[in-house]
A and B are shown apart, each in its own frame.
Chain A
């Protein structure tokens, strides 16, 4: 029957596509799945295929005072760094987007410099500065070091977002009687909100994930979760690391779920434009 070859080839094509999809899903989700399995494993030894379920490592990890202190520290410093970054960077991003001033492009590119080189050198020199300013082993010091990591996101993404907002929208607001500040807060900022939420998300993750700098600046009393991770992975059994990893992923997961209605296609990439 004519056309039969088409179904045969179509079926093959679909089978290949399905196979590729499964392989990709396994590649991306496999490690996460293992992580979750390890996190709820009492023990997982050969030859058992699945671990024996237990939450004992959760009790252990959450009962450890170092861990709870680090969790508190993380959940305090990262939001503070993110908000501080937003307050500093959003007006700057607006200036980058709307004003033409000498050195605009060079300044905008300079925010890349903190992320363009190995950071350990930068942190060492920051540490020498912090010694002089008595910022070593302080909350402020940790927030500042996390702030460095957020700048790129908090400047570049909102700059791109503001640039994408047509000036007519702002001029129309001025035209009906709103001053420059009211125009910014009631017109520009709400329209830019999706881009700014994406920037906040990235900035929060950058701050929350920061380990190198915090290790140098925050030791010994201001440890965050990623810093503690190194110790835990090296000196405790495997499930402890897994439990901790799950804890580390929770804020991003919650943030993503909360922000998902703003994360429509295009917004994540829209920010990157000079």
Chain B
């Protein structure tokens, strides 16, 4: 049982704020991903939790007990680094047993724990090997074993698979997810790979420029991004300039017109419209655009379209429709988000491009 909470954490590197006013709660047994581009402060945050970087302000608590003043060796956290994890002069057994020896456990107990943990990470035969005799994936498994053998309250993973090839990376993250579920350990996982975050996280905390943008489940983050950064960073997104018309009840983006449900924006406001590629749908009454390129991605098509007023847009569609390069097609925006400063308004619905002005419904 371990809850982790970060309270208003601040970290400055020189005059540059690496992390600013970060408050985040990680629930017991949850796998929380810290996601963001490089330099967003995610690794700094993880290092503050592990005790390798001291925050300039704020508090870190595990089960409501502050650990912020403890050195790393006295924190109930265990970290798996990106690389250079294992001590090259020790065998796998000694790497895993080191922390247990520091704790002065009896030899037989150490042996038993090492054996069990190696079996847990699927490397029962590697006990006597040296790190350089293992593959990259095996080394990271041993690193996970070394962290887990101490039965920490919080497991910290700092892009642990980014040095592995793509296939192995996918395999390893599934394994780690299953392992994490099995032992139910509270985990903080740092990654810059949104696909990795979306597949393994219970919740994702998106950071940018040291500031927490949004914390949500993967599906909520995808469907309801609360900032333009999150909208653009998670998944694929088309961003279009748009402006409001008709007393703020309608949005015009290129030749598309979309209804604004509650009239929350005033007339003549410039907004950025975010449209998922799958929300562009073929509709006989939609706006006409030209297909520039069709890419067959196996189970779906990616269609790049040129719109005279909004530039290139990306559309995902199943293979049912007939799409040919150079052909004109009529498209409708099924759903979109309008970003105006801090305001987000969901727009879309039945309004057609051909409708010149919002006609009152009968």
Contact = CB atoms under 8 A, between A and B. Distances in A.
A190 B98 CA distance: 14
A195 to B, nearest CB: 13
A110 B209 CA distance: 41
A166, A171, A177, A191: most-surrounded residue (chain B CB, <10 A): A177
A204 B178 CA distance: 56
B109 to A, nearest CB: 16
Interface string B89-133: 100000000110011000000000000000000000000000000
Interface residues of B, number: 27
A171 B84 CA distance: 10
Given A176-B98, A177-B73, A168 B84 contact: yes
Contacts of A190: 89
Nearest to B102: A177
Interface string B168-201: 0000000000000000000000000000000000
A171 B72 contact: yes
B249 to A, nearest CB: 57
Given A176-B99, A177-B102, A178-B73, A171 B146 contact: no
Contacts of A169: 84-85, 87
Nearest to A179: B73
A187 interface: yes
Interface in A142-192: 166, 168-169, 171-179, 182, 186-187, 190-191
B51, B73, B85, B103: most-surrounded residue (chain A CB, <10 A): B73
Interface stretch (B30-38, B74-82, B253-261, B354-362): B74-82
B88 interface: yes
B331 interface: no
A218 B147 CA distance: 57
A175 B102 contact: no
B239 to A, nearest CB: 38
A82 B286 CA distance: 85
The range of chain A's interface size is: 10 to 19
B52 A171 contact: yes
Nearest to B47: A171
A175 B147 CA distance: 9
B87 A172 contact: yes
Contact of B81 (A171, A178, A182, A187): A171
Contacts of B98: 173, 176, 178, 186
A168, A172, A190: most-surrounded residue (chain B CB, <10 A): A172
B87 A174 contact: no
Given A187-B87, A191-B87, A174 B81 contact: no
Interface of B: 50-52, 71-74, 77-79, 81-89, 98-99, 102-103, 143, 146-147, 150
Ranked nearest first, the 8 interchain pairs of A and B with the lowest CB-CB distance are A176-B99, A166-B84, A174-B72, A168-B84, A177-B102, A168-B81, A190-B89, A177-B73
5 contacts: A169-B84, A174-B51, A176-B78, A176-B98, A177-B150
